[in-house]
Amino acid sequence: MISNRELFLQNTAQTSNSPRLVEVEKAEGIYLYGPQGQRYMDLVSGFNVSNIGHRHPKVLAAIQDQLDKYLHVTVYGEFVQAPQVQFATKLLEVLPTSFASVYFTNSGAEAVEGSMKIAKKFTGRRQILAAEQAYHGSTQGALSLIGNDEYRNAYAPLLPEIDFIRFNDSTSLDKITQETASVIIETIQGEAGVRVPDQAFMHALRAKCDETGALLIFDEIQTGFGRTGKMFAFEHFDVVPDILMLAKGIGGGMPLGAFVARKEIMDVIKDNPMLGHITTFGGHPVSCAAARASLQVIQDEQLLNTVATKAALFRRLLNTAKIKEIRGLGLMMCLQLETFEQVYAVSNYCASEGLMIDWYLHCETALRIAPPLTITSEEIEKACKIILDGIEKFC
Ligand code: PLP
């Protein structure tokens, strides 16, 4: 019989020549299980998705409840679907009051696409600025914002009138002018290898957008839903964007994205032309039911209060000169090594010892650490010991 691994290589599109090829039979809490009973501690959270762990019972119950009612019933924006309405309302409750309208999508990249469209339409301008080394997704609009020539050039021509500022460098903010529709920026850059900006840059960015009338759009697709110890990373900087883009951790493991804005900004979408931005599956009722339950879990289990202590424990235990730098905020962390070969060898060693870690798209010389926020101190101790053993062996 042909194995699933062979069928994967044969029949499903490959996104690289070196897939991880770990077969998953089941996932529960912070663990992934293979078909031969292998167990891996998941320190990647399915790439910042499983913030409350895999298959949280409350999320499963909400999904089951919705399965008994309805699945897809119509395209987004027509029928009143309680899971969408209830989750949008709950989401707005944890956001600053300026946010008043939620548009649900299937993914992060689609949230980026929608945000770019409303920014252009609201301002009547066309230029969009992003940051060098940014990652906002792989659709052609989102790819236009990727701050990396290699990825952009491979699929050029992309969107016109896109330019780049340097992340966390206030001297490059002069590029924001009265021609600029919006500045789209990750609140903390993820794929660049977890770059945390300073307060001064974030305040200067907000001020420059206010001065020029450009809309400030934060991508919290990786940083959202407690990852950094606040519900949203912008809360660390005391700066509120005009549009907020969400996905990944929003759905408790189900596919969902959203962009959220002030009402007058979002309202540009509904006419001239009507139905100018629509989606069939965006805001799927099962995903929205899961998302509402997941947000409730973050609140009920008071997960935000535990993140800083857990992050401090990681930093204390990962104490070796062979790690050049530990960057990050909360449980969005990055261990800077020297070469990709070291990163590859250490992550393979960790996998062989039952620990899943990874690296970053634009920073292949650093290890990615982003465990479910539910990880315990004992599990952190165990994980750090394996990582240190790997670093000792291969660096
Ligand atoms: N924005 C950021 C910061 C991301 O990390 C990602 C995905 O990794 C995206 C956008 C795109 O999200 P999706 O893969 O759901 O389209």
For a ligand 1 pocket test, name from 221, 246, 332 the mutation site with the most ligand atoms within 8 angstroms of its C-beta.
221
One DSSP character per residue, 315-363 reads: HHHS--TTS-EEEEETTEEEEE-S-HHHHHHHHHHHHHTTEE-EEETTE
Mean pLDDT of 29-52: 97
pLDDT digits (tens, 9 = 90+) for 115-137: 999 999 999 999 999 999 999 99
d(CA 114, CA 250): 17
- The pLDDT-based confidence of 147 (bands split at 50, 70, 90) is confident
Look at residue 83 in the predicted model and tell me its pLDDT: 98
Look at residue 130 in the predicted model and tell me its pLDDT: 98
Mean pLDDT of 67-74: 98
Distance 149 CA to ligand 1 centre (A): 18
Give the amino acid at 5. R
Distance 309 CA to ligand 1 centre (A): 27
For a ligand 1 pocket test, name from 248, 287, 363 the mutation site with the most ligand atoms within 8 angstroms of its C-beta.
248
Query: Could you state, in order of their start, the residue ranges of all structural domains in the chain?
Result: 58-300
Look at residue 149 in the predicted model and tell me its pLDDT: 92
Around ligand 1, the residues with Cβ closer than 6 Å are: 47, 107-109, 135-137, 186, 190, 219, 221-222, 247, 257
One DSSP character per residue, 4-47 reads: HHHHHHHHS--SSSS------SEEEBTEEE-TTS-EEEESSHHH
d(CA 232, CA 129): 22
Look at residue 179 in the predicted model and tell me its pLDDT: 98
Q: Is the peptide bond before 157 cis (omega within 30 degrees of 0)?
A: yes
pLDDT for residue 66 is more than 90: yes
| φ and ψ of 76, to 5 deg | -65, 135
Mean pLDDT of 12-32: 96
Mean pLDDT of the chain: 97
pLDDT digits (tens, 9 = 90+) for 288-336: 999 999 999 999 999 999 999 999 999 999 999 999 999 999 999 999 9
User: Left (φ > 0), alpha (ψ -120 to 50) or beta: where does 48 sit?
Assistant: left
Nearest CA to ligand 1 atom 11: 137
Distance 241 CA to ligand 1 centre (A): 18
Look at residue 41 in the predicted model and tell me its pLDDT: 98
Q: Among the atoms of ligand 1, which is closest to the Cα of residue 189?
A: 3
> For the domain bounded by 58-300, which CATH number is listed?
3.40.640.10
d(CA 129, CA 215): 10
Residues forming a β-bridge with 356: 42
Nearest CA to ligand 1 atom 13: 108
Distance 136 CA to ligand 1 centre (A): 5
At 194, list the tokens: 């977890």
Q: How many Cβ atoms sit within 10 Å of the Cβ of residue 3?
A: 10
Q: Among the atoms of ligand 1, which is closest to the Cα of residue 223?
A: 3
- The pLDDT-based confidence of 142 (bands split at 50, 70, 90) is very high
Give the amino acid at 201. F
One DSSP character per residue, 80-105 reads: --HHHHHHHHHHHHTS-TT--EEEEE
pLDDT for residue 86 is more than 90: yes
Q: Is the peptide bond before 197 cis (omega within 30 degrees of 0)?
A: no
Look at residue 263 in the predicted model and tell me its pLDDT: 98
Largest CA distance in the chain: 65
pLDDT digits (tens, 9 = 90+) for 336-387: 999 999 999 999 999 999 999 999 999 999 999 999 999 999 999 999 999 9
Distance 3 CA to ligand 1 centre (A): 31
